[in-house]
Amino acid sequence: MKRIKGLDSIRFICAIYVLLGHFGIPFIPNLMKNPNIDGLLLNLIKVFSLTFNGPAAVIVFFIISGFCINYPYQHEKKIDLLPYYSRRLLRIGIPAIAAAMICYKFNSLGEFPDYGVFWSIICEVIYYLIFPILFYIRKRIKWQYIVIAAYIICFTTLLLNPGLLIARSNDYPAMGIFTWVIGLPCWLLGCWLSENYYRFTTPTVTKIWVLRFCMITGALLLNIIKFHAPTVFASNCYMLNIFAIPGTMWLAYEIMYFEHVNPSSLLEKGGKWSYSLYIIHPATIGFFIYYKIGDLTNMQLPILTCSLVFAYIFYLVIEKPSHKFSSFVSKKLRTRSKLVLHN
């Protein structure tokens, strides 16, 4: 299968969104405290501070993940389970376990059942585990019907548990260990996209930038709604799952756009270690607290810089070797499986 250009760039941008959503935007806190700034300008700064909607970026991660898992298998008749599981679980699991240990060391892992950013990794592992089942269902039922069924289960679960949403401040992992049920429709949209993106037209430069602006504005509005609308229906669980639908359409246009335009090589390279950036960045703030480095209210820029440096080192030392190891194990198991079948 051909490599899809642009997805790594989007991954990296989403990882930066998560970073800025967690740590804040440099210099914004100081601007908001400036007594010479008031009125409309102050309100604009406050709105801008909500621009980086980390949970919305995670939803994009889910869609891309579903795309990447199903894309190589869309024309296959079966999945060789041992090579598949070894490749996917080792690739995601080794860096996640290492990052969790580092985060635990600096007391930045988070509490059960979220474990900080690791709630999404737990969801991903479950999706990888159940994908072979979904793959065989897909042979009999179209993806769109599977997506609709997942949405029905998701929203039914939410309607039956409004108290959990209120207790967990309308956050996306409000369902705890059942958060994977809430995120499954988004992940399945990615599976659908991997087989249908070519149906979308190639957008012009103007259209793709308009779409990008709409996605950024939509994520901003969802952040405002989540914090200010007094209803559980404004929670991330509801709103971000709806956001995933136009998000899938936008990704389709991005893929078609990059069929004819080369993405930024810098962003594409950044996308290679975006997973490391996502899972290791909580340890950065823990590192600063553990060693009592500076006043954290004015340390956004150093923390962000260190996060990027730490993540790249983590990628070189942990994630990249884990990719090679998972590929090695998967190839060995695939070869052994072929020998067994041949004999």
10-residue averages of pLDDT along the chain (343 residues): 89 94 77 68 72 93 97 90 93 96 91 88 97 95 96 96 89 92 98 96 97 95 86 92 97 96 95 96 90 78 92 97 94 76 54
All residues at 6 or more sequence positions from 45 whose CB lies less than 8 Å from its CB, including other chains: 28, 31, 32, 37
Cβ atoms of 52 and 236 closer than 8 Å: no
The pLDDT assigned to 35 comes to 66
Cβ atoms of 176 and 113 closer than 8 Å: yes
| Tens digits of residue pLDDT in 250-284 | 999 999 999 999 999 999 999 999 999 999 999 99
Cβ atoms of 173 and 62 closer than 8 Å: no
Q: Which amino acid is it at 18?
A: V
| Interatomic CA distance for residues 189 and 257, integer angstroms | 19
Buried b (16+ CB within 10 A) or exposed e, 19-34: bbbbbbbbeebebeee
Q: pTM for this one?
A: 0.93
